[in-house]
Amino acid sequence: MLLIRPIRESDYLALLTIAKESGHGFTSLPVDETLLKNKIARSIASFHKSVEQPGDEGYLMVLEDVRSGEVVGTCALEAAVGSQDAFYHYRLGTDVHVSDKLGIRREVQTLTLCNDYTGASELCTLFLRNEWRRDNIGRVLSRSRFLMLAAFPGRFGDTVIAEMRGVSDEQGNSPFWQWLEEHFFGIDFPTADYLTGIGDKVFVAELMPRNPIYVNLLSPEAQAVVGQVHNNTRPALALLEAEGFRCRGYVDIFDAGPTVECARDQIRSVQASQQLSVVVEEIIEGDEYIICNGRMPDYRALRTLVQVDEDRGEIRMTAAAAKALMVEAGASVWTLPL
């Protein structure tokens, strides 16, 4: 049985392993002991916090193999990005140049630095270890976050975003960043990525070009990757697009990967989720669902075989599943068909 639960202090070494395996471009998990331990402490505080409106909360969860106790993946939700530190994007726009006298019209794409997503919630830190990338486990880990959005709407913003990893090579070199590095920054992509991951974003405001960048002035290699995703990220993007997420012309300031967005209440899995009452009994056959207990701070979610009776508003599950979710018969849970 695989269980999704809030991260604990004892999960540090497992999180460090995941951070190392995630590689370049995974900004939200820097390989830094102090930063990782701070992330764990912040998440624990967030799960215990009484929230009236979303703020600087970060909910970091792990996927645990209950049988062995091994942590095999992680996922997270940020309640409201930019509430403490500036949250930057490039906004893709169009600059039109027209001369009626000469009969010339030119449309040029531009990149303008902005903070337009301030206050939005963010899907982030999704990573599954290689040997567990099977049997729809990654899909379950990703979609489980939509149950949290459905169960606790007051903890999150009206808009939900996800930053997709942009194009970079195995050494962490980004064609887009290489152009910025040459003309403005003077530091390589892994260094910039690391500084952002540890929260040191002052250099962005200090060194980022203050005026819009004309895309056609970028190197051909940089132009080719604007709005494109890393090959390893394509499955994650496809899953989000199936949920209703779309790119509205915003890209990452380092690798130009696309950011996708959707109104929280318009996410397909949020709309498909429902609250049902638990009935505990042995299940021989049924349907696979993702279920969360809708409790804080003892949040739990799992994938299990159940029988749903919508007319009665009931969901039948085994005693083992109920125990893992920390619920008893008659308790209310949030459910999502797999």
Q: At what angle do helices 12-22 and 33-48 cross, to 10 degrees?
A: 120
**Minimum mean pLDDT range among 205-209, 266-270, 327-331:** 205-209
Tell whether domain 273-337 is in CATH 2.40.50.140: no
pTM given for the model: 0.89
* pLDDT tier, 200 (very low <50, low <70, confident <90, very high otherwise): low
The tokens for 244 are: 């209703």
81, 118 contact by CB (below 8 A): yes
Q: What is the pLDDT of residue 102?
A: 85
Verify cis geometry, omega within 30 degrees of 0, for the bond prior to 153.
Answer: no
Question: Which of 24, 97, 183, 230 is an active site residue?
Answer: 230
What pLDDT digit, counting tens, does each position of 212-226 carry? 999 999 999 999 999
Residue 336 pLDDT > 90: yes
* pLDDT tier, 171 (very low <50, low <70, confident <90, very high otherwise): confident
Residue 181 pLDDT > 90: no
* pLDDT tier, 210 (very low <50, low <70, confident <90, very high otherwise): confident
What pLDDT digit, counting tens, does each position of 5-32 carry? 999 999 999 999 998 888 655 667 778 8
Q: Is 140 helix (H, G, I), strand (E, B) or coil?
A: helix
Instruction: Please report which residue ranges of the chain form alpha helices under DSSP H.
Output: 12-22, 33-48, 137-151, 175-180, 189-197, 202-207, 220-225, 234-242, 268-272, 319-325
Q: What is the pLDDT of residue 155?
A: 97
The tokens for 263 are: 């109104």
* pLDDT tier, 160 (very low <50, low <70, confident <90, very high otherwise): very high
The mean pLDDT of 44-49, rounded to a whole number, is 97
Burial (CB < 10 A; 0-12, 13-18, 19+), residue 9, is: exposed
Distance (Å) of CA 3 to CA 38, 40, 51, 62 = 23, 18, 25, 8
The mean pLDDT of 83-88, rounded to a whole number, is 85
Report the alpha-carbon distance of residue 46 to residue 278 in Å, rounded. Answer: 27
Q: Is 230 a catalytic residue?
A: yes
Dihedral angle, C-alpha 130, 131, 133, 136, nearest 10 °: -160
Distance (Å) of CA 158 to CA 21, 125, 274 = 33, 20, 19
Q: What is the pLDDT of residue 205?
A: 67
Sorted by where each begins, the domain ranges of the chain are 2-89+115-269, 273-337
Do 2-89+115-269 and 273-337 have matching folds?
Answer: no
The tokens for 256 are: 């130009």
Closest CA to 334 of 76, 255, 308: 308
- Of 166-170, 204-208, 271-275, the range with the highest mean pLDDT is 271-275
70, 64 contact by CB (below 8 A): yes
Compute the mean pLDDT over every residue in the chain, rounded to the nearest whole number: 90
Residue 267 pLDDT > 80: yes
Q: What is the pLDDT of residue 23?
A: 67
The tokens for 248 are: 């509205």
Decide which of 175 and 187 is more confident.
175
Q: Is 97 helix (H, G, I), strand (E, B) or coil?
A: strand
- Of 60-74, 96-110, 190-204, 208-222, the range with the highest mean pLDDT is 60-74
The mean pLDDT of 43-66, rounded to a whole number, is 95
Q: At what angle do helices 234-242 and 137-151 cross, to 10 degrees?
A: 40
Residue 198 pLDDT > 70: no
* pLDDT tier, 275 (very low <50, low <70, confident <90, very high otherwise): very high
Residue 113 pLDDT > 60: yes
Residue 106 pLDDT > 90: no
Tell whether domain 2-89+115-269 is in CATH 3.40.50.300: no
Q: How many residues does the chain have?
A: 338
